[in-house]
């Protein structure tokens, strides 16, 4: 279908082309390089009205205007436009002075070629004295400001690797070379760095790279099947079949499955997004997405502090999305969703199969055996999986939403791919900030910090964040807790925007509740809780560029008031533009800005009655952000390609549904599930007395 069916549907190919055409007509004769043509999601205030009418079913709601967000270099000026596709007109225009567009793959390739074509670089490469037949591979990275240089211009760091095999799929990260080149925006060589080769090596003392130490050439660092001959044959085939087809129904971008309905979105920056998520007709979340991620490296030696990747803000999770393959990335009965981007010329580009949708069996969902009758009741857990995978140079991230029949949502990140590597002397077997994973190959320590943006709509859009903790009751001999076993919970409503930390010692739980809707049995506000992923906050010093640029990494949970006035400014917790960002534009800054205003108003005696300006988050349209990740100190087992490291976050109802929302899942039966017995028991034995009944529990004696 080439027409959008719903205001939240991503732009169609035709709409992308229309938006480009409109802009071209708007600035005739201009040189335009398109960078983004994507849906400008309708203002939330409008969408909420639309969704209420749509789900109320009373009349056909009028769709909000269909608008494209276009970012482009127009005559070399980076600008953003809103193009109203109904009116076929540009309705707003913002010049983005001092901002940089996200990574341009074509430009990065040009940077690599220009770097290699430079005479000084050639000379340096020659000094490396590489083995005959070796191929140099240059990998360009965006520049993380480190305070060493002017950071307002676009700079590119080119890191050098080598393959010793002719095969272009050989793992060049196994041979990091002692060379790094800084390229200007105009693709001129600005600096050539020799890299530190030992723990305390001073690179300033050298003016040409160390010769490549041929003793570093080794085996065992290949992962690609044609180069890695040790393929085990022991794993027998495993097939999933659904003779009656999948349990889900797809209508455009809307998925209906069991009691869930939701819409899948996709954009260049966040990749997969989920919208208007409901269970049994009740609203749960307006929008869920991974909003940012940051990968700072912990190697302090120059120039490594520049290695710090914003894989969403800079690279774009949508731009890096894999074309998922049936039977490889996805097993079973698979529905794929495609994504659409725009070329530099503004023509639509299809990214096939960027999201896969399928079911899995997840073991037992609930079970009870009545010991008095021996009768067991049990259900198996069917889970709906939505998966997308991105490749960011050396590294892969697998992002998964799991929807449960019990109204739980789990968000999982799997980190895999190849470690980013740096050269190290063979005489330096260990360094304090990395792991030597192969001869001459050091994988620096780093963190992966993700930020999941949760826009709750718990039975409506007026929600609060409650922090619950479990604490012992005071020890009162012969009074309320005579035996010292009692405990209770404290419920603290978060009054203003803030960042909060995890604390398992007091079982700290973060609940999004609607104070206007009381649970019919418990009498408490209906809610959903965040089941966090316990991980270390950002390690970099608060004064560092890393910390200033990735404000969300300082706390595990943030709550902000939805900013209806500046929706685009507060979608991304490290700021709207992360490319060579200077910091001070992230979630902590938004909060601090409003906190100061609140304090000023209070000091001025104006009271605290402007809830919007004051950042009031109780009984308000709020957004909850969960920062989590891993402190990844590489293991030898992560080389040459890393088995997935899983991180999981949960969202679970807590006194939202009247009872177990999976109570009506049908009983598991062998008639339906057709499983196969392997082997068999040990056969009849002497004195055997088979215990009857469903369980072999205590009562059998």
Q: Which of 8, 10, 11, 12 binds its own copies (CB under 8 A)?
A: 12
x/- contact string, 387-416, with its own copies (CB under 8 A)?
x-xxx-xx-x-x-x---xxxxx-----x-x
* 353: CB partners within 8 A, 6+ apart: 322, 323, 324, 325, 336, 337, 338
Decide: is 130 part of the binding site for its own copies (CB under 8 A): no
Kindly state whether residue 377 participates in binding its own copies, applying the rule CB under 8 A: yes
Confirm or reject binding of residue 349 to its own copies (CB under 8 A).
Answer: yes
The residue among 396 and 621 lying less far from its own copies, judged by its C-beta, is 396
Per DSSP (E only), the strands in 462-593 are 464-472, 487-493, 498-500, 509-518, 525-531, 557-561
Nearer to its own copies, 104 or 619 (CB): 104
Q: Is 310 in the site for its own copies (CB under 8 A)?
A: no
Confirm or reject binding of residue 166 to its own copies (CB under 8 A). Answer: no
Task: Produce one character per residue of 501-511: b if its CB has 16 or more CB atoms within 10 Å, e if not.
Answer: ebeeeeebbbb
Supply the minimum distance, in Å, between the C-beta of residue 497 and its own copies: 22
Q: Where are the alpha helices (DSSP H) in 152-233?
A: none
Cα-to-chain-centroid distance, residue 119? 41
**What's the CA gap between 652 and 532, in Å, rounded?**
11
Q: Min. distance of Cβ 608 from its own copies in angstroms?
A: 30
Residues between 606 and 625 that touch its own copies (CB under 8 A): none
Which pair of tokens denotes residue 170? 């050989």
333 binds its own copies (CB under 8 A): yes
Q: Which helix (H) or strand (E) holds 22?
A: helix 13-26
Answer for which of 56, 57, 133, 225 binds its own copies (CB under 8 A) is 225
Site for its own copies (CB under 8 A): which residue of 83, 437, 457, 512? 437
When asked if residue 157 is in the footprint of its own copies (CB under 8 A), the reply is no
The closest alpha carbon to 579, from 182, 269, 193, belongs to: 269
- Binding part of the chain for its own copies, among 57-65, 150-158, 186-194, 438-446 by CB under 8 A, reads 438-446
Based on the shown chain and the rule CB under 8 A, indicate whether residue 386 belongs to the binding site for its own copies.
no
Please give the residues from 131 up to 150 whose contact with its own copies meets the rule CB under 8 A: 137, 146-148
- Total count of residues recorded for the chain: 701
- Give the count of residues interacting with its own copies (CB under 8 A): 234
Q: Is 215 in the site for its own copies (CB under 8 A)?
A: no
**According to CB under 8 A, which one of 240, 584, 599, 606 is a site residue for its own copies?**
240
Angle (nearest 5°) at CA 31 between 27 and 33: 105
Q: For its own copies, which stretch binds (CB under 8 A), given 77-85, 188-196, 376-384, 562-570?
A: 376-384
Site for its own copies in 241-300 (CB under 8 A): 241-247, 250, 258-259, 296-300
Q: What are phi and psi of 98, to 5 degrees?
A: 75, 5
Runs of H (alpha helix) within 132-185 = none
Sign of the alpha-carbon torsion through 508, 512, 514, 517: negative
Cα 45 from Cα 185, distance rounded (Å): 40
Residue 646 CB coordination number (10 Å): 13
Nearest CA to 181 out of 106, 124, 101, 102 is that of 124
Contacting its own copies within 625-644 (CB under 8 A)? 631, 633, 635-644
Select the residue interacting with its own copies from 347, 462, 498, 589 (CB under 8 A).
Answer: 347
Q: CA nearest 432: which of 442, 440, 423?
A: 442
**Shortest reach from residue 387's CB to its own copies, in Å:** 8
Binder among 24, 127, 208, 223 for its own copies (CB under 8 A): 223
Give the span between the Cα atoms of 372 and 375, in whole angstroms: 8
Residue from the set 319, 355, 422, 467 that interacts with its own copies by CB under 8 A: 319
* Region near its own copies per CB under 8 A, out of 23-31, 201-209, 385-393, 598-606: 385-393
Contact 560, 590 (CB under 8 A): yes
In the bound complex, what is the minimum distance in angstroms from residue 61's beta carbon to its own copies? 24
* Binding residue for its own copies, selected from 155, 308, 452, 623, defined by CB under 8 A: 308
Unique residue bearing structure tokens 């997405």: 289
Q: Which is nearer to its own copies, 243 or 607 (CB)?
A: 243
Candidate list 299, 311, 455, 621, residue with the active-site label: 311
Q: x-or-dash pattern for its own copies, window 472-491, by CB under 8 A?
A: xx-x----xxxxxxxxxx--
Check binding of 344 to its own copies (CB under 8 A): yes
Does position 682 interact with its own copies (CB under 8 A)? The reply is yes
- To the nearest 10°, the Cα dihedral for 136, 305, 393, 114? -40
Considering only residues 62 to 81 of the shown chain, the ones binding its own copies according to CB under 8 A are none
DSSP element (H, E) containing 24: helix 13-26
Query: Which one, of 398, 366, 421, 377, lies nearest residue 161 by Cα?
Result: 421
Given 175, 286, 395, 562, which residue is catalytic?
395
Q: Which is nearer to its own copies, 179 or 354 (CB)?
A: 354
As a whole number of angstroms, the distance between CA 439 and CA 636 comes to 12
- The answer to whether the beta carbons of residues 633 and 436 sit under 8 Å apart is no
We find the least distance from the C-beta atom of residue 249 to its own copies, in angstroms, to be 10
| Pick 609 or 688: Cβ nearer its own copies | 688
- List the interface residues with its own copies, window 503-522 (CB under 8 A): 504-507, 519, 521-522
Does residue 583 interact with its own copies by CB under 8 A?
no
Q: What residues from 13 to 52 belong to the interface with its own copies (CB under 8 A)?
A: 13-14, 16-17
Q: Which residues pair with 387 in a beta bridge?
A: 356, 400
Token duo for residue 364: 């037992």
Burial of 433 (0-12, 13-18, 19+ CB in 10 A): middle
Q: Out of 265, 575, 586, 661, name the contact with its own copies by CB under 8 A.
A: 661
For residue 191, the minimal CB distance to its own copies (Å) is 16
Query: CB of residue 377 vs its own copies: minimum separation in angstroms?
Result: 5
CA torsion, points 122, 126, 130, 135, in degrees to nearest 10?
Answer: 20
Least distance from its own copies to the Cβ atom of residue 336, Å: 7
Four-CA torsion 552, 555, 557, 563, nearest 10 degrees = -40
One character per residue 536-575, x = contact with its own copies (rule: CB under 8 A) = xx-xxx-xxxxx----------------------------
Instruction: Please report whether residue 236 would count as binding its own copies according to CB under 8 A.
Output: yes
Determine the Cα–Cα distance for residues 464 and 527; give it in Å rounded to an integer.
9
* Pairing between β-strand 308-309 and β-strand 464-472 as defined by DSSP bridges: unpaired
> Which segment (69-77, 175-183, 322-330, 584-592) binds its own copies by CB under 8 A?
322-330
Among 624, 659, 567, smallest CA distance to 285 is for 624
Binding mask 85-124 for its own copies (x = CB under 8 A): ------------------xxxx-xx---------------
**317, 9 contact by CB (below 8 A):** no
Q: Where are the alpha helices (DSSP H) in 466-618?
A: 545-549, 587-603, 611-614
Based on the shown chain and the rule CB under 8 A, indicate whether residue 588 belongs to the binding site for its own copies: no
The answer to the question of residue 332 lying near its own copies (CB under 8 A) is yes
Kindly state whether residue 656 participates in binding its own copies, applying the rule CB under 8 A: yes
Nearest to 548 by CA among 587, 596, 591: 587
Among 53, 217, 278, 657, binds its own copies (CB under 8 A): 657
Tell the smallest beta-carbon distance from residue 650 to its own copies (Å): 9
Smaller CB separation from its own copies, 339 or 615: 339
Active-site residue flag, 395: yes
Catalytic amino acids? 311, 395
């Amino acid at each position: 279908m080439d027409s959008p069916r719903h205001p939240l549907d991503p732009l169609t190919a035709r709409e992308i082309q229309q938006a480009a055409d409109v802009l071209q007509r708007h600035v005739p004769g201009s040189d335009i390089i398109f960078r983004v043509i994507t849906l400008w999601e309708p203002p939330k205030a409008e969408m909420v009205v639309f969704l209420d009418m749509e789900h109320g079913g009373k009349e056909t709601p009028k769709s909000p205007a269909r608008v494209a967000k276009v970012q482009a270099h127009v005559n070399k000026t980076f600008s953003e436009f809103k193009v109203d596709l109904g009116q076929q007109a540009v309705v707003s225009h913002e010049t983005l002075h001092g901002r940089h567009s996200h990574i341009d793959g074509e430009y990065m390739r040009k940077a690599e070629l220009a770097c290699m074509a430079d005479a000084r670089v050639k000379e340096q490469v020659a000094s490396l004295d590489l083995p005959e037949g070796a191929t140099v591979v240059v990998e360009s990275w965006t520049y993380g400001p480190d305070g060493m240089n002017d950071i307002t211009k676009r700079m590119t760091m080119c890191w050098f690797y080598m393959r010793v095999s002719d095969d272009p799929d050989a793992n060049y990260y196994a041979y990091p070379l002692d060379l790094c080149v800084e390229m200007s925006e105009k693709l001129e060589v600005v600096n050539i760095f020799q890299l530190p080769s030992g723990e305390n090596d001073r690179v300033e003392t050298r003016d040409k790279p160390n010769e490549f130490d041929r003793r570093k050439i080794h085996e065992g660092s290949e992962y690609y099947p044609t180069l890695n001959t040790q393929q085990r044959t022991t794993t027998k085939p495993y097939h999933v079949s659904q003779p009656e087809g999948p349990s889900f129904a797809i209508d455009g971008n809307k998925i209906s499955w069991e009691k869930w309905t939701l819409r899948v979105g996709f954009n260049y920056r966040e990749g997969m997004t989920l919208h208007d998520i409901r269970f049994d007709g009740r609203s749960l979340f307006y929008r869920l997405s991974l909003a940012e991620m940051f990968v700072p490296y912990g190697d302090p030696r120059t120039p490594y502090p520049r290695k710090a990747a914003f894989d969403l803000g800079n690279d774009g999770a949508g731009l890096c999305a894999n074309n998922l393959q049936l039977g490889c990335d996805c097993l079973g009965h698979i529905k794929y969703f495609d994504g659409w981007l725009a070329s530099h010329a503004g023509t639509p580009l299809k990214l096939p199969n960027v999201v896969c949708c399928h079911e899995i069996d997840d073991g037992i969902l609930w079970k009870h055996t009545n010991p008095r009758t021996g009768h067991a009741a049990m259900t198996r857990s069917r889970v709906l999986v939505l998966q997308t995978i991105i490749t960011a140079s050396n590294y892969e991230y697998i992002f998964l939403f799991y929807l449960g029949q019990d109204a739980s949502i789990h968000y999982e990140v799997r980190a895999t791919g190849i470690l980013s590597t740096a050269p190290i002397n063979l005489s330096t077997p260990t360094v304090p900030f990395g792991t030597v994973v192969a001869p001459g190959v050091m994988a620096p320590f780093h963190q992966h910090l993700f930020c999941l943006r949760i826009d709750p709509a718990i039975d409506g859009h007026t929600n609060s964040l409650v922090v619950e903790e479990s604490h012992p009751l005071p020890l009162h001999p012969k009074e309320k807790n005579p035996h010292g076993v009692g405990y209770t919970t404290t419920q603290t409503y978060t009054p203003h925007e803030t960042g909060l930390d995890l604390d398992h010692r007091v079982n700290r739980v973060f609940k999004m509740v609607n104070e206007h809707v009381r649970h019919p049995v418990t009498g408490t506000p209906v809610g959903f809780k965040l089941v966090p992923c316990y991980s270390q906050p950002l390690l970099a010093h608060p004064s560092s560029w890393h910390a200033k640029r990735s404000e969300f990494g300082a706390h595990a949970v943030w709550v902000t008031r939805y900013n209806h006035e500046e929706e685009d400014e507060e979608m991304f917790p490290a700021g709207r533009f992360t490319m060579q960002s200077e910091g001070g534009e992230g979630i902590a800054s938004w909060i601090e800005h409003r906190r100061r205003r609140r304090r000023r108003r209070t000091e001025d005696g104006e009271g605290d009655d402007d809830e919007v300006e004051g950042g009031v988050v109780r009984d308000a349209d709020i957004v909850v952000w969960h920062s989590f990740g891993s402190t990844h100190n590489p293991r030898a087992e992560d080389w040459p390609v890393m088995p997935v490291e899983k991180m999981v976050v949960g969202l679970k109802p807590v006194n939202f549904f009247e009872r177990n929302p999976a109570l009506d899942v049908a009983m598991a039966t062998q008639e339906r599930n057709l499983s196969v017995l392997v082997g068999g028991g040990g056969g009849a034995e002497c004195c055997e007395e088979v215990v009857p009944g469903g369980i072999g529990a205590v009562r059998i004696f």
